[in-house]
Amino acid sequence: MELINTSLGIALFLTSIAVLFQPIIIKKSVKQKLKTNLNISILTIILGFFLGVVVTLTSVGAGAIGVTALLLLYPKLQIKKIIGTDIAHAVPLTLFAGIGHFNLGTVDINLLIALLIGSVPGVLIGSKLSSRIDEKFLRLILVIILLIVGMQLIFKGNYV
């Protein structure tokens, strides 16, 4: 588990760097014509498979790893669209992972209900705010959150 946490921490740290430098990534990708639509589609499917495994095993990483990979695969997309797509992808992904864990008996129903009571209003507020927040500010918020969580995973919460 320590290896997974450290690996995810590094992925989150690298994701924060990718999000921070998204405009530069976009400029570089415009100059390169190496990616075909077929290759991007295949890589996106492989990414989905990988994220499914990671989420089911750890409950962490899909957003972080997914956002980084989507930035690299689709650098011309706005950060809002990448985040929105990643969240929309997370719903069925976590539903199926949750069903799997429910069938295994590893779900605490009371904890689940309490989390949902707080999360649903948070999602509604967050989605309203994300459509009104400036892209640069949203990128900065995402970078800071990813850095903090990544560093906590890397250093096991002892230094951050």
Residue 79 neighbours by CB distance under 10 Å: 19
pTM: 0.60
- Calculate the average pLDDT of the chain: 81
Q: Token pair of 46, please?
A: 């492989």
CA atoms within 13 A on the CB side of 13: 12
Q: Could you tell me how many helices (H) and strands (E) the chain has, helices first? A: 7, 0
Q: Structure tokens of 109?
A: 């129903």
In Å, what is the CA distance from 86 to each residue of 43, 102, 120?
15, 23, 17
- On the 0-12 / 13-18 / 19+ scale of CB atoms within 10 A, 151 is middle
pLDDT category at 64 given cuts 50, 70, 90 is low
pLDDT tens digits along 104-154: 999 999 998 998 899 889 989 988 887 788 878 888 888 898 899 889 888
Predicted local confidence at residue 117, as pLDDT? 92
CB neighbours of residue 23 within 10 Å: 13
